Structure 1
Amino acid sequence: MAKRPVNQWKTLDKDLGRIGRLEDATQFVARPLVAPGIALAFIVLVAVGAMLFMGRESVSIVVVAAAAIGAYMALNIGANDVANNMGPAVGAEALTMGGALIIAAICETSGALLAGGDVVRTISSDIVAPGTMADSTHFIWAMMAALLAAALWLNLATMLGAPVSTTHSIVGGVVGAGVVAAGFSAVNWPKLGEIAASWVISPVMGGVIAALFLAFIKARIMYQDDKLAAARKWVPVLVGIMAGVFATYLATKGLKKIFPMTLGTAALIGLAIGILSWALSVPLIRHQSEGLENRKKSLKKLFALPLVLSAGLLSFAHGANDVANAVGPLAAIVHAVAAGDIGSSVTIPIWVMVVGALGISMGLVLFGPKLIRLVGSEITKLNPMRAYCVALSAAVTVILASWQGLPVSSTHIAVGAIFGVGFYREWHSERRARALGLSKGKPVPAEERSRRKLVRRSHFLTVAAAWVVTVPASAMLSAVIYLLLNTLTD
């Protein structure tokens, strides 16, 4: 009987196995630290860049610190708010996670740089009246406290998986620090009232518009006998509406920086672009529909491209609107330090806008996928048609708000649109169930109708609670930070 060969490397194999397990464990522990490490490097680079842009003679430690905090805030906005833009497209499987991150990063940056100035001015000078501050130092500390408080609160909410409003966070921070710094008279309450009203109106508007779009699609396309023929007719119309709204918005926000642009001229530009987009999409949709079966599942393919385009539009609008949350107070601080006063007219340096734009994009890539999945698939089930209604509705609402210079919450609008689609589906399904039951003489019991709810009530209550808590929490945190800063400097 042959002897079994002796393994001469038994001890070495054990040692190598232990080393291999140690390497695996090290990689497992270190992997979660990669994203925070990159984020920290970005914040440091922004601080160094602020010193270079300000120059040796005018460099200030206050501006450097504010730039770092602004970068931190922008990262958190990208991690939280951008999920609301790309979540529907990813949840409907029209975009992969990687594709969504790339499109959102490009559109967010473009929106911030091309059309982000108006809302920045609202945050930096319209909420707190600068003239009520004792001097520029107190105003600077108030803006610094607001920025840091909002960033810390948003970071905590993101870690907990709550899609809170970054707009609520920064506005609450500005109000809290302003009240402590100069009393209630420092706050521009009429302007704040307009903003607060938009917080209530915008999610309702987003939900209603999304539900109306979905009702239109169901009536004109999904429930038609020849679904493909109906889609060839109406999908290009929806694409034209989207392109026309976007073109009007871009004309008023971007082109007005080059030459005077009236609302009427912008509307004519939007109408022309909308008609052109409709004409171009007609042969495209016809080509895509060739060979498809006449059923609802086939419609998903026809709505995939419009959904991607609408998601990009929403990201552009979000960049234009929410960059203010990151760099509004930073712009006010830079102006106060450079000019030595706290005038109501704030000039926004290009490097400040770049910090906000790049920070939002980087935060999205590093920390965004978690909330993208939550928004896209865990509130209600989305397909390309429903997700298109959400994205288009949210884009139109954000554009209208930013058009008026109001820093509304894109979180409220997008999530409101998702709930609007879900609740409309519930109402529509229950109505059909009742009609079907009556036609067969078997009404659907109330318990069964309750079981068929299509919106997760737990998420609805969680989101609502997070929205309610955000403003007072950020305001109180900002007030505490302002008192600490004022005590340390005094």
Structure 2
Amino acid sequence: MLLSFAITAILAFYVAWNLGANDVANSMGTSVGSKAVTLRQALVIAGILEFTGAVLFGHEVSATLATEVVNLPLFAETPQLLLLGMVSVLLACGLWLQIATSQGLPVASSHAVVGAIAGFSWVAAGVGAVDWLMIGRISLTWVITPVVSGILAAGFYSIVKYSILDRPNPIKQLQEWIPWLSAILLSIFGVIVLPTLFNRPLFAALPLPTHDLPIATAAIVAIALSLISWRQ
């Protein structure tokens, strides 16, 4: 058992190392390329945010990958086979990410993980071992996500271009718009992130009604934070 844990931990570190090398470049490449932050600053920011996101918000994603892609009852009598399969998933994902990163290819680690889990399950216990409905739902998000992101980015850039870049004094316009953009960003953060954050066991265990934090309250808190930053 101790040996299995050690091997799994090493492979998990190997995957995380390559995941950071590939995925952080995807998310921070624009900031570094535009000289908004240096490479060292990007690594620090990404390290903090990636770790925080994984610890606070990664539980649901991990639970889905671990229990809803594979038909677990088929492995009830052979748990060692399931363990070996999951270890092979870590190894396969780590190798693929390393190969892709060495070639400068930005790839999605989620695609690799889901594909590897489906692949080993199919080979180990047959086609029925894979929850194809869940695979379809996950794949649908892969198609929808870039489309929605593109639409939002195009709309947001159009607003910035019209309101700031095309004005006679774009620097002055930028200074006027920054507080409003910060307020919008922090409000979205409050509405989406704060209720999820306060539902975590760390906060739910406190003798405070934080685990029932309504969306309206979260939005008010976020707007208040944005106003404070505006005043400063």
Q: Report the CA distance shift for 1:283/1:224 in structure 2 as closer, same or farther (over 3 A).
A: farther
Please say if residues 81 and 165 of structure 1, whose CA atoms lie closer than 8 Å, have aligned partners that are also in contact: yes
Matching residue's letter, 2:166: Y
CA RMSD, 1 decimal: 1.9
Residue aligning to 2:80: 137
What TM-score does the superposition give when structure 2 sets the normalisation length?
0.88
Match in the other structure for 1:76: 18
CA contact (8 A) 1:251 1:269 kept: no
Give the letter aligned to residue 118 of structure 2: V
Q: Tell me the CA shift for residue 281 of structure 1.
A: 4.2
> Structure 2 counterpart of 1:105, which letter?
G
CA distance in 1, matches of 2:171, 2:38: 26
The match for 2:195 is 252
What is aligned with 1:157?
A: 100
Pairing 1:100–2:42 present: yes
CA distance in 1 between partners of 2:18 and 2:106 (Å) = 11
- Secondary structure class of the residue paired with 1:197: helix
When the two structures are aligned, how many residues end up with a matched partner? Answer: 224
Sort the Cα spacing of 1:228 and 1:74 in 2 relative to 1 into closer, same or farther, 3 A: closer
1:234 Cα deviation from its structure 2 partner: 2.6
SS, match of residue 254 in structure 1: helix
Deviation at 1:254, TM superposition (A): 1.9
* Separation of aligned partners in 1, 2:188 and 2:102: 35
Q: Which residue of 2 aligns with 1:272?
A: 220
Q: Distance in 2 between matches of 1:96 and 1:172?
A: 35
Quote the offset at 1:226 in angstroms.
Answer: 4.7
Question: In the alignment, which residue of structure 2 is the partner of 1:234?
Answer: 177
Q: How does 1:234-383 map to 2 (within 5 A)?
A: 234-257=177-200, 258-259=203-204, 261=211, 265=214, 267-283=215-231
Q: Which residue of 1 aligns with 2:165?
A: 222
**How many angstroms does 1:261 deviate by?**
4.0
Answer yes or no: is 1:113 the counterpart of 2:61.
no
Secondary structure of the residue aligned to 1:64 is: helix
Cα distance change of structure 1 residues 240 and 270 upon mapping to structure 2, 3 Å threshold:
farther
Q: Give the conservation status (yes or no) of the 8 Å contact 1:243–1:273.
A: no
TM-score computed with the length of structure 1 as normaliser:
0.43
Evaluate the alpha carbon distance shift between residue 194 and residue 80 of structure 1 in structure 2; reply closer, same or farther with a 3 A threshold: same
Q: How much does 1:269 deviate?
A: 3.6
1:179 is the counterpart of 2:122: yes
- How many Å separate the matches in 2 of 1:230 and 1:160? 41
Identical-pair percentage: 33
User: Which among 213, 227, 232 is matched to residue 156 of structure 2?
Assistant: 213
Distance 1:179 1:272 in 2: 49
Unaligned 5+ segments in structure 1 are 1-58, 285-490
- The answer to whether the Cα contact below 8 Å between 1:243 and 1:270 also exists between their aligned partners in 2 is no
- In structure 2, what is the Cα distance between the partners aligned to 1:278 and 1:225? 27
- Residues 162, 78 of structure 1: alpha-carbon distance in 2 compared, 3 angstrom cutoff: same
Deviation string 1:177-198 (CA, Å, 9 cap, x unpaired) is 0001111111111111110000
Contact 1:157 1:164 survives alignment (8 Å): yes
Q: Secondary structure at the match of 2:121?
A: helix
| 1:336-358: CA deviation from partner (whole Å, max 9, x where unpaired) | xxxxxxxxxxxxxxxxxxxxxxx
Aligned twin of 2:31: 89
Change (3 A) 1:60 1:241: same
Structure with greater contact order relative to length (CA < 8 Å, sep ≥ 6): 1
Which letter does structure 2 place at the counterpart of 1:272?
I
Q: 2:110 aligns with which of 167, 175, 182?
A: 167
Q: Which residue of 1 aligns with 2:145?
A: 202
Q: CA 1:119/1:87 → structure 2, altered by over 3 Å: closer, same or farther?
A: same
Shift of 1:235: 2.2
* Aligned mates of 2:231, 2:195 — CA distance in 1: 30
| Structure 1 position 104, deviation (Å) | 1.3
Classify the secondary structure of the residue corresponding to 1:81. Answer: helix
Displaced runs of 4 or more, over 6 A: none
Report how far residue 233 of structure 1 moved. 3.7
Determine the structure 1 residue equivalent to 2:207.
none
Distance of 1:175 and 1:211 partners within structure 2:
35
Q: Which amino acid letter does the alignment assign opposite residue 83 of structure 2?
A: I
Secondary structure of the residue aligned to 1:128 is coil
SS of 2:199 mapped into structure 1: helix
Cα pair 1:72 1:151 within 8 Å, conserved: yes
Unaligned runs of 5+ in 2: 205-209
Residue pair 2:195, 2:218 contacting (<8 A) in 1 also? no
Larger radius of gyration: 1
Q: Which amino acid aligns with 1:131?
A: P
Do the aligned partners of residues 60 and 282 (structure 1) sit closer, same or farther apart at CA in structure 2, a change above 3 Å counting? closer
**What are the residue-to-residue correspondences of 1:403-422 with 2, within 5 Å?**
none
